Structure 1
Amino acid sequence: MANPHAQEPWSARFDWGPVGAETLAGASDLVAVVDVLSFTTALTVAVDRGIEVFPFRWRDERAERFAQDRDAVLAVGRSAARPGRISLSAGTIRAAGPVRRLVLPSPNGSTIAQDVAATGTTLIGVSLRNATAAAEWTRNRLAAVRGASVSVIAAGERWPDGSLRPAVEDLWGAGAYLAALDAQGFGSFSPEAFSAAAAHRAVAGDLPARLRASASGRELVDGGFADDVEIAAEVDASIAVPLLREESFTAA
């Protein structure tokens, strides 16, 4: 019997976290990963600057050697960043001097990107900053593919015990992309994808304020990273579509 969690035969699908990505990626023509606070926001800021971005697993001791072998800068966690050092904070990427290559670990979006890459499925990074541009690119990319399907993965966050915490900002980011696909007449939507698009439409008129008021937004603001929330709320400010080619993201 077909796996109902694969959301076939719908053209647009939606799920959460690494397990959702594993379930949907193999049966999809394209996967869009969404991690608004903060991997895919940081990714779009980097690609806007022409930086090649290598996703990497969080707290993997091989990261430093990986970066050295690719002549790349290794981003650190926000709390570990000294002045002038690039971190997962999008503001540090925007403020940095010339950088050609960046290794960008994160516990959620970056790790999912590596997992999906291993399946050979086409992968793009989507945030609130580039949702419409990413939807337009997706439509053009898949226009000639009969029965084409897109799976959107909201990365979510982690509770202290390591379990998945569905994060509303990723629901909105995924919904923004799906709503843009819907506006362009892209195929049929699974109930899960339809609901994500509806969630975005419900807050679209007041999204920056909603983002600041969300649990993840308040956590960053309270931690001294309010700029990251403001950058994440730059709705459709970017036309860059980060596409994973082999082991790194560059502009599609």
Structure 2
Amino acid sequence: MEWGPTGATAVPADYAVVVDVLSFTTTLSVAIERGIEVFPFRWRDSRAAEHAMRHGATLAVGRFEALSRGDARHVSLSPASLSEVEGIERLVLPSPNGSTISFALADSGAQVVGACLRNAGAVARWLAPRVAEGASVVVVPGGERWYDDTLRPAVEDLWGAGAVLAGLIDDDAALEGSASPEARMAVAAWRAARLPDDLLHCASGVELTEVGFVADVEIAAQHDVSEVVPLLVDESFRDASVLRPAAPRLRRVDP
């Protein structure tokens, strides 16, 4: 387990799980649940609109931009608002942090999966047989950014990472011995979490609640309510359960 965009390039693995609970991977899971193909994008400017046009996709706008427009037809980055949309097949999801991490992991040769609290168990179950065959896994909690653009470790992403890792260990107790100290720390943090209260009262949860997006936090706090496994294929995330991705060449790491 390693943090943020820099951590995404630090630990090569066969499978890489990006976790951004508030809110990139939560929004991603809600979209995939609704049958929407998601194109993550690094920038929130005119380039995002051009990217959406290129792929015949709808562009998700920021939470506050959607509110200011007062038009329900505008799809927002808010997972709560996305849970109510109809008629969307392709979505461009601008997320400088989550998208940057996802593509950095993909560039390393890993198969990239998006996880949050909602689908942590499904992701763990999907990974379990691959790990049993010898595949390596790195889980990357995205974290947030301070005003000077340095990484702010976010406890909700630590919980999300721990929930995935706990699912793997629960499936095969022998894996606990091969987990890194960082991975075991994430599992311990997850097992100590009290949902939904802790998510509502952590720093990121308070920030969203204070500006009127408590519903987003409540949706993000739902644990194991989703069976989707968002898998990055080329430029978009799709549900791995309906895909047959090629098996990666497994990396053998000396003890």
TM-score, length-scaled by structure 1: 0.89
Q: Which amino acid aligns with 1:230?
A: E
**2:27, 2:21 → 1: CA distance?**
9
Partner residue, 2:191: 201
What is the rounded CA distance, in whole Å, between the counterparts of 2:54 and 2:14 in structure 1? Answer: 31
Q: Supply the distance in 2 between the matched residues of 1:61 and 1:111 (Cα, whole angstroms).
A: 17
Listed as ranges, the gaps of 5+ residues in structure 2 are 241-255
Pairing of 1:4-43 with structure 2 (within 5 A): 14-24=1-11, 27-43=12-28
- How many matched pairs? 233
User: Is the Cα–Cα contact under 8 Å of residues 212 and 229 in structure 1 kept in the other structure?
Assistant: yes
Stretch deviating more after TM superposition (97-106 or 112-121) = 112-121
Other structure's SS at 1:152 match: strand
| Local SS of the residue matching 2:2 | strand
Is the aligned partner of 1:175 residue 2:162?
A: yes
Give 1:1-252 correspondences, 5 Å limit.
Answer: 14-24=1-11, 27-81=12-66, 82=69, 83-84=71-72, 85-144=74-133, 146=134, 148-185=135-172, 187=175, 188-203=178-193, 206-252=194-240
Q: Verify the 8 A CA contact 1:73 1:103 in the aligned structure 2.
A: yes
Shift of residue 116 of structure 1?
A: 1.7
Match of 2:248 in 1: none
Distance 2:5 2:57 in 1: 26
Determine if contact 2:14/2:109 at 8 Å carries over to the other structure. no
User: Shift in Å at residue 141 of structure 1?
Assistant: 3.3
- Answer yes or no: is the 8 Å Cα contact 2:131–2:137 preserved in 1: no
**Residues 131 and 236 in structure 1, CA contact (< 8 A), matched pair in contact too:** yes
The 2-side partners of 1:52 and 1:118 are apart by: 20
Q: Could you give the per-residue CA deviations for residues 146-200 of structure 1, whole angstroms, max 9, x where no partner exists?
A: 3x21000000001111111000100000011111111111631000000000000
**Cα shift at 1:60:** 4.4
Give the drift of 1:58.
Answer: 3.0
Q: Secondary structure at the match of 1:58?
A: coil
TM-score of the pair, normalised by structure 2:
0.88
Post-superposition offset of 1:128: 0.2
How much does 1:106 deviate?
Answer: 1.2
The worse-fitting range, judged by mean Cα deviation, of 56-65 and 72-81 is: 56-65
Aligned to 2:101, the other structure's residue is in SS state helix
1:24-82 CA distance string (max 9 Å, x none): 1xx20100000000000000000000100011003243111110011000111111113
Does the 8 Å CA contact 1:34/1:170 hold for their aligned counterparts? yes
Shift >6 Å, 4+ stretches? none
**RMSD over aligned Cα, in angstroms?**
1.2
**Residue 196 of structure 1: SS of its match in structure 2?**
helix
Q: Distance in 1 between matches of 2:210 and 2:223?
A: 22
